[in-house]
């Protein structure tokens, strides 16, 4: 397991905090190794986790392969249309700073916080909005 109970709680709280102010959805997907381009792997899991099924197409997936030290962050069509062109690259750099310090959980939280701010700006919380996707970390094993 990549994260201990305290780290998992920290990540889940960051997701809940981010999603409280937006109709957007954020998920974390973790596996041990990734034998392909992490962006392609993340895209595959994006569909497998049905993140493309949100009403406003405003899901964000943070993918991490712990043993291979690879990660990617991707957004659905709705959010990609509105965020600044360099947003995802800047977010990856901010996350990478934490990862290089050996703090995976804080790196994930940094990505969640940054994505949450963009989601809140472009997809504010709407009355009656429901949490469309689980906030739990999706642990995969090369499925």
46, 72 contact by CB (below 8 A): no
> pLDDT tens across 125-140, in order?
877 677 767 777 888 8
pLDDT interval class at 18 (50, 70, 90): very high
Query: CA–CA separation, 141 vs 49, rounded Å?
Result: 14
Predicted local distance difference test score (pLDDT) of residue 132: 67
**How much is the pTM?**
0.93
> pLDDT tens across 69-118, in order?
999 999 999 999 999 989 999 999 999 999 999 999 999 999 999 999 99
The rounded mean pLDDT for the chain is 90
How many residues are there in the chain? 143
What structural domains and CATH numbers belong to the chain? 5-139 (3.10.310.50)
């Amino acid at each position: 397991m990549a994260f201990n109970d305290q780290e998992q709680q920290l990540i889940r709280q960051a997701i809940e905090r981010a999603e409280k102010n937006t109709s957007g959805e954020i998920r974390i997907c973790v596996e041990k190794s990734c034998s392909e381009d992490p962006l392609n792997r993340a895209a595959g899991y994006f569909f497998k986790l049905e993140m493309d099924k949100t009403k406003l197409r405003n899901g964000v997936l943070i993918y991490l392969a712990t043993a291979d030290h690879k990660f990617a962050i991707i957004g659905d069509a709705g959010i990609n249309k509105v965020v600044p062109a360099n947003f995802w690259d800047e977010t990856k750099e901010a996350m990478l700073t934490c990862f290089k310090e050996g703090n995976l959980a804080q790196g994930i939280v940094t990505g969640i916080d940054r994505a949450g701010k963009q989601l809140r700006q472009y997809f504010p919380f709407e009355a009656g909005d429901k949490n469309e996707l689980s906030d739990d970390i999706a642990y995969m094993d090369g499925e």
